[in-house]
Chain A
């Protein structure tokens, strides 16, 4: 099968370097550019052999069913919550993601968010730009060094966050599905207990049925009016309405959020809060890393069509 005839479906715009490279090698079909998606998929059902998606749109059951020739789903993300893994397995479809290449950037962003919330750089930058510095002093902020950090999920990114946090002399606790005896950090058997013993709680576990709304009212209350929540996982990890009311009512000390339940919609009640930092899902958003992610997607597709083992299959 000649490469240029292999149809690759791209679900949404995600990276122009990736698009260009896909176009060079395959017959690229851009799902977001068509008005009638079902008609489009029906028309191309026999030529689409690969699907490239991301954390917004990837491969749900409906899409998989619509593409009988689909052989591989390559996600431009490390998370795979937008892929129906059971259906993929049933159909013998390979699934790949982009672990490791984005670990550092996402971990850096977690620390960035902690510092932004505690030390209020966003607000102080606005303070200077508005000319207010000439008339008064900025408010006091809160020290980061030495604060207790709790990490939910001690996978690649969780460990990278822990390594950075250690350099700030912060005691570290964690919650994970199972305790990791080789890890020196303190294990807590419940998220509520972890929250009660943390000043800063970082969410960085995979999104599954069990971890949906893992941050609920009880956890938020345990974290408390001086506690800070950092979410660099998925919006659905957090019961968003509960989080919003806790922040608005001052029952939670602050939050740094890179993800939301209904991106790009973000609860407007948070816009006016100076103890909340909001980012448009940019955890892996650097020139270098997005390029590495794109190259990994391309490499996985290439080895698949050469009938070689996938480089970074979802396990």
Chain B
């Protein structure tokens, strides 16, 4: 019996789904069976000793679909080496790691995570914001170090109710954030690529004006060429010394050096950050600050969301191979460009 190898289709002709040079995060947490299906096999480039271009050349004829995650970009170069590629499924919310223009040119469909992450991302925004304003992580440390009996009352935090919240990017996540913070008595305003006619919140045409009129700035937009370093010195200055910024989108939307300087010098009140420009490297100046709360880009990593993700990833791939409609297709006509 011939030994089955990765270079030839399996005996029962199951199609292959290519995973590029990094395994998806769920594999690291649950094991590499997480997205298994009886309808397809995975080709794992990250397990091969071959450099990626050579691996792609070796398997070019068998690959019609890619399973991508944020850490394994789908570049134009990769796409050009795979003439039969017709679908990219990504496990991430963001799409900035995929050359969407190239996909559009070649008629390659893209399927994303849909809205499954929106509640968890919005919950993260609220959690980070309350933590920064009310100093919860810091106070928890204070108690667990046994300092309460000797050092007495913990310093006061700041009230959330009544704060003006400005949301940059009022998509699915931004809308869920707005709904939650309204219940805390916050007032909502936003900036987005386009004004949304059915939305009751005030719209600001530029982020500087939004920042000047709010106490909390929430970043929940996509990373594109336009939004790279969107939050710069001018915006942070407009936000001001009583302002707080929360970012669960992409690190590069904020000019990180400038943010760090503002935080260290007290030019803004605080920050809640799930993302950074050069993850997992985080500016060390932030470690000394107690008005900053950080999380390791895990706003979506709850058990429940990953289970939802598993269903969507497997569902999209199975639908594709059965010539059925994708569950969560991304409309490529509308996507702004990110040159990376």
Contacts and interface: CB of A to CB of B under 8 A. Distances in A.
A47 interface: no
Nearest to A137: B28
Interface in B100-119: 119
A8 interface: no
B144 A282 contact: no
A147 to B, nearest CB: 9
A285 B157 contact: yes
B137 A116 contact: yes
Query: How big is the A interface, by class?
Result: 35 or more
A55 interface: no
A71 B301 CA distance: 57
B9 to A, nearest CB: 34
Contacts of A140: 29, 301-303, 306
Interface stretch (B127-135, B197-205, B224-232): B127-135
Interface residues of B, number: 59
A105 B296 CA distance: 28
Interface string A278-296: 1110100111111000000
Contacts of A105: 159-161
A142 B305 CA distance: 9
B143 A279 contact: yes
Contacts of B296: 124, 127-128, 133, 137-138
B318 interface: no
Given A140-B302, A278-B140, A112 B184 contact: no
A309 to B, nearest CB: 28
A121 B131 contact: yes
Contacts of A138: 295-296, 298, 301
Given A121-B293, A138-B298, A271-B144, A129 B127 contact: no
A112 B130 contact: yes
Q: Select the residue from A109, A113, A272, A282 with max chain B CB neighbours within 10 A.
A: A282
Contacts of B134: 108-109, 112, 282, 285-286
Given A137-B28, A143-B120, A264-B149, A286 B156 contact: yes
Interface string B11-50: 0000000000000010011000000000000000000000
Given A124-B298, A128-B295, A265-B149, A104 B159 contact: yes
A277 B149 CA distance: 17
A168 B124 CA distance: 12
A144 B123 contact: yes
Interface of B: 25, 28-29, 119-120, 122-124, 126-128, 130-131, 133-137, 139-146, 148-149, 152-154, 156-161, 179-180, 182-185, 279-282, 287, 293-296, 298, 301-306
Interface of A: 13, 104-105, 108-109, 111-113, 115-116, 119, 121-122, 124-129, 133-134, 137-138, 140-146, 163-164, 166-169, 263-266, 268, 270-272, 277-280, 282, 285-290
Report the 9 A-B pairs with minimum CB-CB distance, sorted nearest first. A167-B183, A115-B127, A145-B119, A112-B130, A104-B161, A143-B304, A264-B148, A133-B280, A278-B143
